[in-house]
Structure 1
Amino acid sequence: MPATRVVKPLVLAALVIAVIALAITLVVPRERTIATPVTIDPPAAGTRASAGADTDQHQPLTTHPSSPHPVHKPPATAPQDNAPPAWPLAERLARSEDLFALATSLRPAAVDGDPAAMWTLGRIYDSCELLTVKYGANDDPNLARRRLETVTAAMPANAAAYHQRQFERCRGFVASPDSLENPEIWQTLAAEAGHPAAQMKAWLDRRMDANIAPPTRSRVMALIQSRHPDALAAAPRLLSLQMAAPADLTETTNELAWTLAACSLGLDCSPMSEATQIRCIWSNCAPDDPLQEVIRAETDPYIFEQASTYAERLRQHLSAGTLADASWLELQPMPGQDD
């Protein structure tokens, strides 16, 4: 018998078997694996969602469900510049060109007890208080602006630019001085409600009489670990580097190190930021220089190098959430401690 006549029946038989197997696969369902539901732990105390979508409540560090086998990552070695701000109201305050409108929008949430709204409202009132008192007695806003121009004409260029910008940001209060409220009252309430920057200011400012516990090293570090820009800005007044150096050099290095670290962790240090402009009021800063470059230009190179080294160590600890492990930081004496 020819070989081709034997092969053809075998090929046909193989095709029939394959079709039958495919049919069985389509008809008989496979066993399914039921996915185990993922549960998300509720936020820890102090991280609850606040009443408004635009509030500045601190967000938990973990925003995704925890894996049953946590992955331990090494400390970050570069600033997380692309991370969204954890304190959106601080961002709104820094960017706002109309502080009267911002205060008006925040006041209902502050009245309802939102800590971030109370703190920000106090910051606005504090920022606009002097300008309102100085220029707000006039019924005519144009007259107030002309008085401003007379005052700023005698100022250095940077000081004049900052003063004029603040006037424009606070122009609503200048036009309606009765709308200004006591900033310390709102900030005291924010401190008692647990806002980190407010609690730090309460320890430093005798005008605030907040009913909170006295500062300890661990408590101060926990508040700074929140990475609120105002808490970072106040950090060098509460924590100090341990350095084998004269007191004045340690103080300068400490202030610069915290400032540089804060710039890399969310504090607005751009050329037109409040932090930069205040530092440049009496300095000859280049108009396009951010705060880091301003500090570099006016600081002794050795001190700047020391401060930069400590700033990087601070940034790494704060990014990793391990500031409490920085044994080279000590609690500063509090104002009036020796009275």
Structure 2
Amino acid sequence: MDAQRDLYRYAQQLQQQVRAGDAQAGWRLSRVYDYCAPYASSPAGYAADSEWIAAHQTPGVAAMHAARDRVAQRCAGFAPSDGLGAHLVAQQRLSAARGGSLAAEAALLALGEPLQATPAYKRALVHRVLASRDPEAYLALAPAMGARASGDDSLDGYVAGDQFAELAWQVAACRLGLDCSADSTLVTSYCANAGICSRDSAQDFVSFVFDAAVPRQGADRVDEMVDRLVSDPGAQS
């Protein structure tokens, strides 16, 4: 997805592959829908908001405007009639997961809508993601392994349970090959949609995490978590 500049055309290609039964294409299509949904719901409104943001030129705001501009350029062509939104994203991921996409299956757990609602299934899914070493599956699983996993006995022993764990899964995805550069989908989404932007426009995701998102006393802990996630297929403490 990161290599694609015209996501509207890319989505049309993926839709053809999905109709041919390609579950992984279904997962990629869900990522396009998720990325472009804020723009597609109202392209004119998105542009107006971006213009308002551009009028407040502080370093962080400038970065947010640049990120929103990247989204608008890549998502041009989508319209409200396409129905992009949380429901369509979840629907597409459910279909892809049932077809065999591990990343989509992990994303469903992160949405709170796993294919099976049992502790044994959840634990087995985490183990399968770790064994796959698939960076997209790591990234998709990350939200499920953060603070919302606190107190979840089914995840005992895994890297899980606080905000550092979620970041560790994301950084591990970067180390396993996910594009985490300054212009990547990951960095752009954080900045354009959540307003979490680096003041340095050239800073990649991993550098930003350790520079701004993690307090100094937590950096070593996150680093240790990441090392476990990328070096140990079991990744249990």
After TM superposition, the score normalised by the length of structure 2 is: 0.77
Task: Sort the Cα spacing of 1:100 and 1:306 in 2 relative to 1 into closer, same or farther, 3 A.
Answer: same
Deviations 1:205-225 (A, max 9, x none): 25x6x7557433123210343
State the match for 2:15 in structure 1: 107
Whether the 8 Å contact between 2:41 and 2:83 is mirrored in structure 1 is no
The match for 1:147 among 38, 44, 48 is 48
The match for 1:262 among 150, 161, 173 is 173
The match for 2:209 among 290, 295, 307 is 295
Give the deviation of 1:200 after TM superposition.
1.6
Give the deviation of 1:146 after TM superposition.
5.7
- Tell me: higher relative CO, structure 1 or 2? Use CA pairs within 8 A at least 6 residues apart: 2
State the match for 1:218 in structure 2: 124
SS class of match (1:172): coil
Task: Sort the Cα spacing of 1:101 and 1:161 in 2 relative to 1 into closer, same or farther, 3 A.
Answer: same
Task: Sort the Cα spacing of 1:135 and 1:220 in 2 relative to 1 into closer, same or farther, 3 A.
Answer: same
Task: Sort the Cα spacing of 1:118 and 1:146 in 2 relative to 1 into closer, same or farther, 3 A.
Answer: closer
For the pair shown, the structure with the greater C-alpha radius of gyration is 1
Alpha-carbon distance in 1 for matches of 2:91, 2:98: 11
The match for 2:236 among 327, 331, 336 is 327
State the match for 2:99 in structure 1: 193
Unaligned runs of 5+ in 2: 150-154
SS class of match (2:169): helix
Give the deviation of 1:199 after TM superposition.
1.0
Whether the 8 Å contact between 1:260 and 1:292 is mirrored in structure 2 is yes
Alpha-carbon distance in 2 for matches of 1:252, 1:212: 25
Give the deviation of 1:268 after TM superposition.
1.3
Alpha-carbon distance in 2 for matches of 1:236, 1:211: 17
The match for 1:124 among 10, 29, 32 is 32
Give the deviation of 1:110 after TM superposition.
0.2
The match for 1:158 among 58, 63, 71 is 63
Alpha-carbon distance in 2 for matches of 1:227, 1:327: 15
The match for 2:81 among 178, 182, 185 is 178
Task: Sort the Cα spacing of 1:292 and 1:327 in 2 relative to 1 into closer, same or farther, 3 A.
Answer: closer
Deviations 1:133-176 (A, max 9, x none): 1226xxxxxxx7863542432561111111111011110114xx
One-letter identity of the residue aligned with 1:309? E
Give the deviation of 1:313 after TM superposition.
2.0
Count of residues in correspondence between the two structures: 214
Task: Sort the Cα spacing of 1:221 and 1:148 in 2 relative to 1 into closer, same or farther, 3 A.
Answer: same
Unaligned runs of 5+ in 1: 1-92, 137-143, 318-322, 329-339
Deviations 1:40-74 (A, max 9, x none): xxxxxxxxxxxxxxxxxxxxxxxxxxxxxxxxxxx
Task: Sort the Cα spacing of 1:173 and 1:262 in 2 relative to 1 into closer, same or farther, 3 A.
Answer: same
Task: Sort the Cα spacing of 1:190 and 1:264 in 2 relative to 1 into closer, same or farther, 3 A.
Answer: same
More helix per residue: 1 or 2? 2
Whether the 8 Å contact between 2:35 and 2:189 is mirrored in structure 1 is no
Whether the 8 Å contact between 1:173 and 1:180 is mirrored in structure 2 is no
Alpha-carbon distance in 1 for matches of 2:124, 2:115: 19
Matches within 5 A, 1:1-339: 93-135=1-43, 147=48, 149-154=50-55, 156-174=61-79, 177-180=80-83, 182-205=88-111, 212=116, 214=118, 215-239=121-145, 251-280=162-191, 281-298=195-212, 299-317=214-232, 323-324=233-234, 326-328=235-237
One-letter identity of the residue aligned with 2:108? A
After TM superposition, the score normalised by the length of structure 1 is: 0.56
Whether the 8 Å contact between 1:285 and 1:294 is mirrored in structure 2 is no
Give the deviation of 1:228 after TM superposition.
3.0
Alpha-carbon distance in 1 for matches of 2:104, 2:162: 23
